[in-house]
Amino acid sequence: MSEIYHECGLAAVYHLPGKAVSPLCPPQGPDQVSRLIPRILLDVQNRGQLSAGMTSYHPQRQALLETYRGVGTVSEVFRLSHQGKAESIMERCAGRAAIGHVRYATCGKEDLSYAQPFERHHLQKHKWFSFGFNGQLANYAELRDKLLADDDHHLARATDTEIIMHEISRELSGDRRPPWQEVMHNVASRFDGAYCLVLLNALGEMVIARDPWGFRPLCYAIEGPLLAAASESVALLNLGFSHPSIHSLGPGEMITVTGGQIKLERFADSPRRAHCYFEWVYFANVASSMDDRSVYLARKTLGEELARLEDIPIDEDTIVVPVPDTSKCAADAMAFRLGVPSAEGLIRNRYSGRTFIEGTDNRARKAASKYTPLREVLEGKRVILVEDSIVRSTTMRVLVSRMRKVGLAREIHVRVACPPITSPCFYGIDMSTISELFAPRFMREDRPLEKIYDEMARELGANSLRYLPIESISRAVNRPAEELCRACITGHYPTPHGQKLYQIALANAQAGSPSEATDSWPARTYETPAARV
């Protein structure tokens, strides 16, 4: 599914001073533990391909904090294909502590000034900090307007990352030096939405925090003197941390490193848990575990749920075909339960480039070049095409058409390992208006679900279409429904400002507003500032 994208991925490492050298430390020694950051970012590259960057701390360097950022993938930014240039960057950014970030913009422009980490310089070391952020604030407009109410204040970018930077700076203003637990507690009382963040200051203090709802995942591991954190557990496992030492940071929890000591503490109460179910369905690496649930097992269960509900005739010409790559677990599990082959009938070109920032026509052309149907697999077959979700439907329309024309498939039955997505996301996923979504225009309470799905199938050019019911999600994730954010499939948002934005979007959509425009949201990469709800 190449139509929908996550915002960011985070990384952090810290080798405590005065301790025995960790066996996981790079050969260059503890003062260059920052070299681990690109390795971590490569493992969370799935969460953002627009820009990458890092900030390191070194107490013997003139620039106590050194920030390096660039537009492009991790390999491009850190010049990993050029040994000499990569080594030069690592020498420049050497440090015993570092944070890193990869970005896909759900808001803000596609240029270097929006790349993270954001560094705020200051004469006083405890006020000089750099941070990276993953998520989105639903009350962005309210926070922005309060800041700009004072004529002395100015925002240079249309992004909530800058809002967070200013809110943290406000807590550090004056002569007091509040503890980080107090700083995070106070900003949390003003934030509504999703925010995981990693922060490093010029005193060598580090903060790793996850919002009180726990929308986005954040994992950490501590072995001896080495602390590391990442958006996904697979990055820590690949660094060499043992599985038992890798944990999910709880909602409203933070890890601080101050005075050479690591501390885990709570900075805010959790009004409710709201883990994004879509992390398990699509976003996260299949090798990761989040909040004690394996992504692989969740997707496998989704496939088993699809098999349980399947009602088309199964014969020797029936095959299951996944849409590469995130649908493969569900497709394999479905095929196994049905007793039919799971075949690679679509081959993905991994080097065709990104499609998500293109206009509709360009996105369709990119989708056509990204997936190649195999006639040798598809010809004359009844194909059960398994997809993890359908958002705008651009890719699915292209796939169904090409599987018929190029692959010569006899029948194509689309099965979606997710319920219909009917509502926007205001917590960091690139689907912000009702009008851009495929399902809402079909979903009417006065019509039987079967007839709705038949109409959707005709629109896509498929023989049939079926989605999973909403109750399948909590079974697959193995968490109570009330602990998941399912707003995009239910229309019920876990935070007040999220629900408020949805009501605005609904009213505008029902009034026929083509852009559902308000000024309540930062601009998407390919929209004007007014075009986002």
Spatial contact of 264 and 255, defined as CB atoms under 8 Å apart: yes
H-helix or E-strand containing 207? strand 206-210
Locate tokens 């072995």: which residue?
223
> SS3 helix, strand, coil % of the chain, rounded to 5?
35, 25, 45
Integer Cα distance of 32 and 282 in angstroms: 34
Least Cα distance to 340 among 366, 359, 367, 312 occurs for 312
Classify residue 379 by its DSSP letter. Answer: B
> Is-contact 24 241, C-beta < 8 A?
yes
The closest of 324, 274, 328 to 482, measured between CA atoms, is 274
Judge whether 399 and 406 are in contact, CB under 8 Å: no
Based on the residue annotation, tell me whether 196 is a catalytic residue of this protein.
no
Residue 485 near residue 429 (C-beta atoms within 8 A):
no
DSSP tag of 283: I
Phi, psi for residue 216 in degrees, rounded to 5:
-105, 150
DSSP summary character for residue 150: S
Three-class SS of residue 191? Answer: coil
What are the DSSP E strand ranges found in 323-481? 346-348, 371-373, 382-387, 411-416, 464-467
HSE (side-chain half, CA atoms, 13 Å) at 142: 12
Q: Does residue 57 contact residue 202 with C-beta atoms inside 8 Å?
A: yes
The one-character DSSP state at 282 is: I
Nearest to 346 by CA among 391, 407, 394: 407
Q: What CA–CA distances, in Å, run from 444 to 166, 422, 487?
A: 44, 11, 18
From the candidates 8, 219, 329, 425, give the one annotated as an active-site residue: 8
Backbone phi, psi, residue 266, to 5°: -95, 135
CB 414 within 8 A of CB 385: yes
Would you name the residues annotated as active-site residues?
8
